[in-house]
Amino acid sequence: MGGHGLYVWLSYGLSFLVIGLLVWRVRSARRAFVRQARARAQRLSAEPQAK
């Protein structure tokens, strides 16, 4: 990179880190929400039977 490698790789590295973070964040948030929502639904359906 003719002495500019640090600047170029730093820019690309940071950008792909941010892109990865944004994609991971939305995917993991969805998985977590679905898991929690399913657990809530199961609790609600189990409650009347327990009574």
Partner 1 sequence: MSLKTLWHKLGSPRWFYELSGPWTTGFGVAAALLLAVGCVWALAIAPEDYQQGNSYRIMYIHVPTAILAQSVYMTLGVAGVILLVWRMKLADMVLACAVPFGLWMTALALVTGAIWGKPTWGTWWVWDARIVSMLVQLFLFFGLYALREAIPRADAAGRACAVLAIVGLVNIPIIKYSVDWWLTLHQPSSNLLTGPTMPSEMYLPLFVNIIGFYCLYAYVLLASLRLEILRREEKTQWVQQQLQQPLPQQPQAV
Q: DSSP 3-state assignment of 9?
A: helix
**Which 1-51 positions form the footprint of partner 1 (CB under 8 A)?**
1-5, 7-8, 10-12, 14-16, 18-23, 25-27, 29-31, 33-34, 37-38, 40-41
N-terminal to C-terminal alpha carbon distance within the chain: 71
Contact 1, 8 (CB under 8 A): yes
Spell out the alpha helix ranges (H) of 1-51.
5-50
Shortest separation between residue 4's beta carbon and partner 1, angstroms: 4
Per CB under 8 A, residues contacting partner 1 are 1-5, 7-8, 10-12, 14-16, 18-23, 25-27, 29-31, 33-34, 37-38, 40-41
